[in-house]
Amino acid sequence: MIRFSVGLRYMVGAAFFFSVMSLFVKGAGQRLPTMEVVLARSVITLVITLAVLRARGVSPWGRERKLLLGRGALGFVALSCFYFGVIHLPLADATVIQYTNPVFTALLAALLISERIGRVEVGLVVASLGGVVLMARPTFLFGGEGGLDPLAVTVALAGAVFSAAAYVSVRRLARTEDPWVIVFYFALVSTIASAPMAAPVYIHPVGWEWGLLLGVGVSTQLGQVFLTQGLRRERAGRAMAVGYLQIVFAALWGLLFFFEVPDRWTVAGALVIVLCTYLIARIRAPGSDAGAGGGEGAVEPEIGRASPGRGG
């Protein structure tokens, strides 16, 4: 049984605010184009990050600029794919699919930076993809009408893969760069990349939509603050377990605001993904009950370290 220490309470707060961020993204995306939401979020993150760097007296430009730009590009693609998934899939389903990224992180870390990966972890990668198949239920395998929108599932899954690639690059950058510099490059690249994509399809927000766009940025920042405090005070394995509350919150928002009710196939696929992600985090999380490793939780796309949250 999980005892709710101060660290775990912070993790509950992080799960709540990241789920609220997804709710605001989906609300704004009912009328506004995905890239416009990405642009608004990127600008807010850029302003906040520059303010923090200036207050700390840290130069935003970093040392390894090519790698920082590459990490920013990976984060931008991951964030864009995640937001597309949130807008076009049920909230809980998009959240669960994003939770596959720690599994891909383990695989990519083995391929790109020579981290060790065992047969069990490879098996969990395959099983996790099987969970996505159960949720999507492609007609060529299951017949009938199928499950989730195949395009939205594919884009959301691509977001998880790009999130994993972004975290692998963060592991390398963490040796030389301030975490806020890494976030700055994400926000900078995302702003520059999303602006020309958002301009041709721009729709002027109305009153309440401005609030949603602002809420996306604010809730993400609050989620990151709570996440940082939680990870400082709690072991990774226990923190990861509480982080899954984000899926519960997302399912609740989806039911209350969008009348989304998952069927038994979606629930089964989600359980497979959650179990695989939890097991691989336990295997790899440093300081967890399962032993040593280089753990990753489900993550926010732009954040410089693992988090139970959304996107790259």
What does pTM read for this prediction?
A: 0.85
pLDDT in tens, 111-148: 877 777 788 888 888 888 888 888 887 765 665 666 78
Domain count of the chain?
A: 1
Maximum mean pLDDT: which of 157-171, 187-201, 219-233: 187-201
Would you say residue 182 has pLDDT above 50? yes
Quickly state the pLDDT bin for 234 (edges 50, 70, 90): confident
Is the residue at 69 inside a domain? yes
Is the residue at 264 inside a domain? yes
Task: Pick 71 or 312 by higher pLDDT.
Answer: 71
Q: What was the pLDDT predicted at 244?
A: 81
Maximum mean pLDDT: which of 108-112, 244-248, 290-294: 244-248
Is the residue at 107 inside a domain? yes
Is the residue at 39 inside a domain? yes
Would you say residue 303 has pLDDT above 50? no
Quickly state the pLDDT bin for 292 (edges 50, 70, 90): very low
Q: What was the pLDDT predicted at 99?
A: 85
Is the residue at 1 inside a domain? no
Is the residue at 203 inside a domain? yes
Does an H or E element contain 46, and which? helix 34-56
Domain that holds residue 233: 6-284
Q: What was the pLDDT predicted at 308?
A: 37
Task: Pick 174 or 144 by higher pLDDT.
Answer: 174
